[in-house]
Amino acid sequence: MLRKNISSWIICLSALLLTSASNKSTETGHDDHTFNNPDFIKLVKNGVMWAVGEKAQAALAGWKLPDVKYSDANIPNYERRTPAPKLQAPLSPQESILPNV
């Protein structure tokens, strides 16, 4: 369950992103540069963990994520990303089901 003051958390996270980002603009989080920044990923992860609370954190710690396999495929690369996108192999029905929390 989300905490009651989630809107306060969102405001604080937005302020942190805007003041800690090198570009200091509203574009933070809108490109690969931001999402490849380990500090940004850590900030978002920590914020989400704080927002969901201890019970959900404990449940998440017990999850075993499936091994995801990727292969080369003819996928459009309009943004000319390097490396080019790969195709994710489908998960089994059992791997696709989230645990009941």
Q: What digits encode the pLDDT tens for the residues 20-62?
A: 545 444 556 667 778 888 888 898 899 999 998 898 888 888 8
The answer to whether the pTM exceeds 0.85 is no
Q: Which residue has the higher pLDDT, 15 or 56?
A: 56
Which amino acid makes up residue 77? N
User: How many C-beta atoms surround the C-beta of residue 60 within 10 A?
Assistant: 14
Helices 38-61 and 6-20 cross at an angle (nearest 10°) of 150
Six-digit token string for 97? 């089901």
> What is the full DSSP assignment across 12-56?
HHHHHHHHHSSS-STTTTSSHHHHT-HHHHHHHHHHHHHHHHHHH
Q: Which residue has the higher pLDDT, 32 or 6?
A: 32
